[in-house]
Amino acid sequence: MVEKEEKESLKRGIAEQVNVMKGRGAPKSMAPFYKAAERMLDIPESPSVGYMCEFVPIELITAAGATPFRMCTGTQETTFRAEEYLPQSFCPLVKSTMGFFREDADFDLVVIPATCDGRRHLGELFGDDVRVHVMDVPATGETIQSRELWYQEVLRLKKVIEKATKKKITAKKLRASIDRENQKRDLLKQLYEPRTGDFQLAGSDLMLMVQLSHVMSTDEWIGHVRKVIAETTSGSAKRKKGKTWGDDQPRILLSGSPVIMPNWKIPLLIEESGGALVVDNLCSASRVMWIRAEPAGSSMQELMLSIAERQLMSLCPCQIPFEPAWLRLKALIEDYRIDGIVHHVLQSCHLFGVESALMRSELDKMGVSLLALETDYSQEDVEQLRTRIEAFLEMIEARMER
């Protein structure tokens, strides 16, 4: 179990990253998000459901009256705990998460989609007192058979959640949950709209806001996001007082493996080195939140179909073919006038490693530069990463001056 003193140390690690972000002339409306970051490791009271991937439709969790909690952690310290039973070369995200939660998974239910080899058997590592449900994720969403398989998985999850929470998920409650999550996604789009030009909100701040949507209550998150929008959109008089990012800097898109606070070194290094982190394509940030659930009607079947279909549109590299994911990435490059992509690959994360190879040939045709960075949760490679990122940005700047 993570002791109180150790947990406080982990929180100080988050605070250190947040203090760096505070010191860059951030909008005043970001203050509640910086404060909420201190709660990122606090398990909510029962009823709660922990989950480890965006393939889990949180609409089902909230419709059962439970609090969803994304269990993925970015703390280096807890990886050492997991190395007592997992290989040292294992995925750092999985090691960090298991090191934190294996003996402290105080949830009514833990849901783990089997999206990669690192997660497939995790449920069997938890103690007998932890109720774990593993979802079978199809390798493609392109066939009728795979879509039906996934729909049945979501139906099965509904029954598991109802049993764990002892609450019935009704069509009325599920519709309300879908509408609330769609409201969050619509607000996110408003945050991204100004970023086609110059913008005030740093990309690392925006990524933090998205991750905190899994920590703050829905009403709390929505209220504070609206204040950020009011302060940072182009029509706001306050906007001109803050730091502006954008057109005079290399415009960068961050893609690849999840980036989880406090492992914030890649986004911060991009910005500290003079790049503008315009948009991301990360499952830990905005990628999945762009997609709305669109029920065809109000029946339970129509509602369930809408959330099942939405999850299959996540464009995770665990699924084939690559083309739909590439088309989405290409649209982001064009819409946000991207000069270069930094592709983050966690050690032993083969899915995103292969994805960078698939991306490179297509990006060459577009004249967009790609920097693939393989790293882990340690701080030992920060200066090496800084050197590579600075050289990458200098190359883009030289091209921009021609």
Model pLDDT for residues 166-209, shown as the tens digit of each residue: 999 999 999 999 999 999 999 998 998 889 988 999 999 999 99
Q: E strands within 136-181?
A: none
| pLDDT at residue number 238 | 45
The b/e string for 220-237 (b: 16+ C-beta within 10 A; e otherwise) is ebbebbeebbebbbeebe
Please, what is the angle between helix 203-212 and helix 218-232, to 10°? 160
* Whether the predicted pLDDT of 36 surpasses 80: yes
* Whether the predicted pLDDT of 290 surpasses 90: no
pLDDT, mean over the chain: 91
* Whether the predicted pLDDT of 241 surpasses 60: no
> CA separation (Å) from 224 to 18, 30, 93, 207?
17, 8, 29, 15
Average pLDDT (269-295) is 92
CATH of the domain at 34: 3.40.50.11900
Identity of the amino acid at 225: V
Average pLDDT (228-252) is 74
DSSP 302: H
**Residue at token pair 């394509």:** 281
Whole-number Å distance between alpha carbons of 71 and 274: 32
Expressed as residue numbers, the domain containing 25 is: 4-401
Average pLDDT (233-255) is 73
pLDDT digits (tens, 9 = 90+) for 201-214: 999 999 999 999 98
* Whether the predicted pLDDT of 231 surpasses 90: yes
Average pLDDT (46-58) is 94
pLDDT digits (tens, 9 = 90+) for 54-92: 899 999 999 999 999 999 999 898 998 899 999 999 999
| pLDDT at residue number 315 | 85
pLDDT band for 234, please (50, 70, 90 cuts): low
DSSP 245: B
Count of structural domains within the chain: 1
| pLDDT at residue number 181 | 94
The token duo for 213 is: 């949507």
